[in-house]
Structure 1
Amino acid sequence: MALKLFIMALRNLWRQPRRTILTGLTFAVAVFIFTVLIAVPASMDLIAEDASRGIRLIVTERNNNSLPVKYCAAIRKIPHVLGCSPQIQWTGIYRDLRDPITTTGITNDIYTVTGSSDYSPPPAIAKQLANDRRGALIGSVLMREHHWKIGQPITLRNPSDGKMTLTFIPMAELPTIYLSRIFFFNRQLLDDAVKNAYGENIQNVAGFMSVRVDRAENLGLVANQIDENFHNSEAETQSVTESDTLANYVSAIGDVRTIIYSLCIVVLLTMLLIAANSMAMMVRDRVGEVAVMRAIGFTQVHAASLMLCEAAMIGVSGAAIGAALALWYFGAGMTLGALTGALGYVAVRPETAIEAILIAFIVSLAAAIVPVINAARIAPALAFRKVV
């Protein structure tokens, strides 16, 4: 019986093809928007989760100035510290002035702060990066955004300083979520460029330091020890966990999560109202049919099930189209723009798309249940009278 009702519902959908298509497209657009929106905080959570696995501290200068590279030697002597990597950042423009690219200069010390859960380039690539000052390791999303290729020279420039134009050679693509928009390069290239342009030696200067700790429970202890060691020094430090650094970065651009969830609620309510209006019109046109079904022996449950099945099929089919488009377009990741910097991007995952389809299924049933139940309860004789 259930199969027969399903077949009948499928045939009935095309009795009003225009209404069916328009309602389905409404679900498709709404689910596409909802899926992309909800993927933003989900992507941020995945990035933070990946960062927390590294068991690292980010050490910066308390007043946002630079740090002496020699601090790393002292930090390595602190108990529970496994490695320290001084790093420096430089921002350049590839083509669009509205899309600055933040690059990070590294040394071989970077491999002392990577763990088993982190991506590490093959030894041959790591050796090549150390020997070639133009070498770079670039995240997969950033590579795809700019259509860069491995081995293809990339020139970045400082728009306000013509002397600072650097050319890099991508040697490997970083596939992990956390590093999807990162740009690591051999900092010797920047050191030499600054020295040649201005005669300044910045080899002993770091923008920040990444420190790896043996266990997560020792992060706070090591952070306090680092800050105490350099208290009242030439450059006082501020040490926080890597995941907290990301959280502070996101909070600096506003309460993104609350805004996005509010927009999701608006999308759901809009979808519910449109679906409810469409379902009400569908049920109104089917009053006579329901009366005939009841007169020839169909129960209220059968009639209601048929119309609810039609509503669910419209919602799920439209939602599947919208979720599939979101997964196809954003599945591999896409930047959120310069506002969120090198770490901000959105990636729609299969589980997020499936959740959006389930929500659309629930919304379609919720929109149809009241008019369907009211129609199924009408006595056959009274339903015929309404038609006549």
Structure 2
Amino acid sequence: MKFLPLLWSNLQRKRLRTWLTLASIVVAFLLFGILQTMRAALTGGADLAGVDRLVTINKVSIIQPLPQSYLNRVRSVEGVRIAMSQDWFGGIFQDDRNQIAALTVDPKIFFEVYPEYSLPEAQRAEWQADRAGAIVGSAVAERFGWKAGDTIPLRSNIWTKSDGSSTWDLKIIGIYSTSNGDNSSLYFQYDYLNEARSFGRNNIGMIVMRIADPSRSADIARKVDEQFANSSTETKTSTEKAFVQGFANQMGSIGTIVTAVSSAVFFTMLLVIANTMGQSVRERTNELAVMKTLGFSSFQVTAMVLAEALLLTVLGAAIGLGVAAMAAMSLGQAIQQFFPTLGMPANTYIIGAVLAIGLGAIAGALPCAQAWQLKIVDALRKA
């Protein structure tokens, strides 16, 4: 620590060059933090999925419906504890920009399928009794200022009523909370949708089931699909995690994209920092020789050169990741309806610290070698 003022003075020798290099490192780690945030947002839902839940959809496409009669047949499969249908509603509140993850479910068994969701017992009973009732997550309720007892007009970009209207009036029964992070959804009764919609009556979008033994998920999924094999509407059953991950995979391998972009950025930064440190050592050759003359060992001189590189990269990484964290918070509030779990993962800081130290060490390797091999007589003669 006693050499820190000396290190900082050396970095300020060419202030413009140092600040430009620092700014480049900040931008690199800012980009890294945002990429990690988006990767977590696109794939994080899979990590929150229930380990004991399976999802059955139409084998052709998720947008193709299933007959409602399939639900009882799935319930009869050995190993299935409970199952319910689920339909995507495509909710819009007032403005097209206010999109809500609205789904229809069976309120009688919803909390058995999703035990991580909590709602007071009185509100659960009221929801079951009111066909036009809905429950909403705490995040979406706070966003729009909704409270229990409010009636909201929710427009669908998919479903229309038999009278031609696309607006559905829903009464907010309660505000749920959940331990899995998804507090931005809205759920209402399937019967309310099914009885009033102009098309698709007695069809369901998908079936979500809880199973008794997660270790038998592959076997149970196979048995479910075998029931509908060679029928006009075949099914595809997978774990909830695989189902959620499938959406992210439609955009390609997010992990590969993040790795490729980050690698390109950090390789560029490696060249920039190495060039900066190389120039710094060449400009101070005679000063380093004087330090050795005054009694500094080759190890001490080399360590200070390496410390300069590490100080630059660690400082830039700290600023960049800090700005990325603030950006993730602001971005999360803006697009919470699309990515309920948006936020910079905690391991980003650990990975960032390792990258900063590794980047500084590699970039400073050649300048350190030059400082170590520096001969006092030769350096002073050139001066």
1:56-102 deviation line (CA, Å, top 9, x unaligned)? 11112334432233432332232221110111112244466578544
How far residue 213 of structure 1 moved from its aligned partner, in angstroms, is 0.5
Letter in 2 for 1:217: S
Aligned position for 1:378: 374
Aligned position for 1:71: 70
Does the C-alpha gap of structure 1 residues 29 and 180 become closer, same or farther in structure 2, counting only changes over 3 Å?
Answer: farther
1:217-270 deviation line (CA, Å, top 9, x unaligned)? 221222222222334556433222212212322222323332221111111112
Q: Secondary structure of the residue that 1:4 maps to in structure 2?
A: coil
Does the C-alpha gap of structure 1 residues 235 and 22 become closer, same or farther in structure 2, counting only changes over 3 Å?
Answer: same
Aligned position for 1:112: 112
Q: 2:188 aligns with which of 164, 185, 188?
A: 185
Does the C-alpha gap of structure 1 residues 287 and 184 become closer, same or farther in structure 2, counting only changes over 3 Å?
Answer: farther
Contact 2:332 2:339 in 1 (8 A): no
How far, CA to CA, are the matches of 2:122 and 2:277 in structure 1? 63
Find out whether 1:163 has 2:165 as its counterpart.
Answer: yes
Contact 2:151 2:171 in 1 (8 A): yes
How far residue 45 of structure 1 moved from its aligned partner, in angstroms, is 4.9
Aligned position for 1:356: 352
Does the C-alpha gap of structure 1 residues 180 and 23 become closer, same or farther in structure 2, counting only changes over 3 Å?
Answer: farther
1:146-182 deviation line (CA, Å, top 9, x unaligned)? x333427654434697720235566426555563654
* TM value normalised by structure 1: 0.82
Q: Secondary structure of the residue that 2:25 maps to in structure 1?
A: helix
Letter in 1 for 2:175: A
How far, CA to CA, are the matches of 2:245 and 2:334 in structure 1? 16
Does the C-alpha gap of structure 1 residues 169 and 261 become closer, same or farther in structure 2, counting only changes over 3 Å?
Answer: farther
Question: Which structure 2 residues correspond to residues 1-388 of structure 1 after superposition, within 5 A?
Answer: 3-51=1-49, 53-64=50-61, 65-94=64-93, 97=96, 101-108=100-107, 109-115=109-115, 118-132=116-130, 133-138=132-137, 140=139, 147-151=143-147, 155-158=153-156, 163-168=165-170, 171-172=174-175, 174=177, 176=179, 179=182, 182-191=185-194, 193-194=196-197, 198=198, 202=201, 204-233=202-231, 235-330=233-328, 334=332, 346-386=342-382, 388=383
How far residue 39 of structure 1 moved from its aligned partner, in angstroms, is 3.7
Does the C-alpha gap of structure 1 residues 287 and 180 become closer, same or farther in structure 2, counting only changes over 3 Å?
Answer: farther
How far residue 286 of structure 1 moved from its aligned partner, in angstroms, is 2.0
How far residue 124 of structure 1 moved from its aligned partner, in angstroms, is 4.0
Contact 1:335 1:345 in 2 (8 A): no
Does the C-alpha gap of structure 1 residues 99 and 385 become closer, same or farther in structure 2, counting only changes over 3 Å?
Answer: farther
Gaps of 5+ in 2: none
Q: Secondary structure of the residue that 1:253 maps to in structure 2?
A: coil
Q: Secondary structure of the residue that 1:82 maps to in structure 2?
A: strand
Q: Secondary structure of the residue that 2:82 maps to in structure 1?
A: strand
Compare 277-286 and 358-367 and name the one that shifted more. 277-286
Contact 2:36 2:258 in 1 (8 A): yes
* TM value normalised by structure 2: 0.83
Contact 2:43 2:245 in 1 (8 A): no
Q: Percent identity?
A: 25
Contact 1:49 1:243 in 2 (8 A): yes
Letter in 1 for 2:292: R
How far, CA to CA, are the matches of 1:93 and 1:17 in structure 2? 53
Contact 1:153 1:169 in 2 (8 A): yes
Q: Secondary structure of the residue that 1:254 maps to in structure 2?
A: coil
Contact 2:136 2:184 in 1 (8 A): no
Q: Secondary structure of the residue that 1:163 maps to in structure 2?
A: coil
How far residue 131 of structure 1 moved from its aligned partner, in angstroms, is 4.2
How far, CA to CA, are the matches of 2:74 and 2:263 in structure 1? 48
How far residue 302 of structure 1 moved from its aligned partner, in angstroms, is 0.8
Compare 231-240 and 291-300 and name the one that shifted more. 231-240
How far residue 272 of structure 1 moved from its aligned partner, in angstroms, is 0.9
How far, CA to CA, are the matches of 1:276 and 1:167 in structure 2? 63
Does the C-alpha gap of structure 1 residues 201 and 66 become closer, same or farther in structure 2, counting only changes over 3 Å?
Answer: closer
Compare 69-78 and 364-373 and name the one that shifted more. 69-78
Q: Secondary structure of the residue that 1:297 maps to in structure 2?
A: coil
Contact 2:309 2:364 in 1 (8 A): yes
Work out the number of aligned pairs and report it.
372
Does the C-alpha gap of structure 1 residues 207 and 32 become closer, same or farther in structure 2, counting only changes over 3 Å?
Answer: same
Q: Secondary structure of the residue that 2:344 maps to in structure 1?
A: coil
1:108-140 deviation line (CA, Å, top 9, x unaligned)? 22222224xx33334344334434524232374
Q: Secondary structure of the residue that 2:144 maps to in structure 1?
A: coil
How far residue 105 of structure 1 moved from its aligned partner, in angstroms, is 1.0
Does the C-alpha gap of structure 1 residues 281 and 54 become closer, same or farther in structure 2, counting only changes over 3 Å?
Answer: same
Does the C-alpha gap of structure 1 residues 40 and 59 become closer, same or farther in structure 2, counting only changes over 3 Å?
Answer: same
How far, CA to CA, are the matches of 1:214 and 1:291 in structure 2? 74
